[in-house]
Amino acid sequence: MNITLENIGRRFNRDWIFRGIDYTFTSGESYAVLGSNGSGKSTLLQILNGSLSPSAGEIIFLNNGQKIEVEKVFKYLSLAAPYLELIEEFSLEEVIDFHFKFKPYKAGIDKNNIIELLSLPGRKNKLVRHFSSGMKQRLKLALAFCSDTPMLMLDEPTSNLDTQGVDWYLSLVQQFAQGRLTIVCSNQEHEYSFCKHRLSISDYK
């Protein structure tokens, strides 16, 4: 899966957040989108995942050389982000079942594996509303990493995680990010240290 940006820009009202981005994200590679808080990292990620239209330029999605229409891009990606909401009225088990109605499991992974990965074998019936902010973030990450999609997009992936949680996140990267187009939006080096390529929003102001 490749994503090509051609002169991409986005503005709110009359103010440009970024403009003139020409860049290609290539299948199997890892990218860090860098910038200070409020710089536009999340906005760019929303353009990359098809949930927000650019104000200028064109974005092209290709899968094995075939063009993918923007409204179908969601089928090819997994996303974890602080602003992505979980259904808090669901139990842990119900959230997992619901998520994987729309995404396939990675090979060798099932619901029980994910519950074990979260170290919550006795809490599968616990409502998500009763989870701590850190546990909710772990759940978002586990769902994204364990979905069999060619693209993995992560926005501030260690938000609400303690030191042990950061180590857990990095172990997921080792296990489940290989061979996928991985994009991490962050200003924390420990979140993106594994990324081979860097794109700085400040270069497009």
Q: pLDDT tens, 169-203? A: 999 999 999 999 999 999 999 999 999 999 999 99
CA distance 50 to 202: 22
- What is the reported pLDDT for 123? 87
Nearest residue to 160 via CA among 124, 131, 128: 131
With tokens 């602080």, the residue in question is 82
3-state secondary structure 149-184: CCEEEEECCCCCCCHHHHHHHHHHHHHHCCCCEEEE
- What is the reported pLDDT for 196? 97
Assigned fold of 2-204: Rossmann fold (3.40.50)
- What is the reported pLDDT for 120? 86
- What is the reported pLDDT for 148? 97
Buried b / exposed e over 108-130, threshold 16 CB at 10 Å, is ebebeebbebbebeebbeeebee
Q: Could you tell me the CA-to-CA distances from 196 to 13, 30, 139, 187 in Å, in that order?
A: 34, 6, 26, 15
Rg, C-alpha atoms of the chain = 17
10 in Cβ contact with 54 (< 8 Å):
yes
Give the ranges where 7-132 is alpha helix by DSSP (H): 41-48, 92-99, 111-117
Please report, for the chain, the start and end positions of each structural domain, with discontinuous segments joined by +.
Answer: 2-204
- What is the reported pLDDT for 121? 80
Find the mean pLDDT for residues 76-92. Answer: 95
Count Cα neighbours of 122 within 13 Å in the Cβ-side half-sphere.
0
- Taking residue 31's Cβ as centre, other Cβ atoms within 10 Å add up to 22
Helix (H) / strand (E) containing 60: strand 56-63
178 alpha-carbon distance from chain centroid: 14
Nearest residue to 132 via CA among 175, 92, 190: 92
Phi, psi at 123, each rounded to 5° = -125, 25
Model pLDDT for residues 9-45, shown as the tens digit of each residue: 999 999 999 999 999 999 999 999 999 988 999 999 9
Model pLDDT for residues 103-145, shown as the tens digit of each residue: 999 999 999 999 999 998 888 999 999 999 999 999 999 999 9
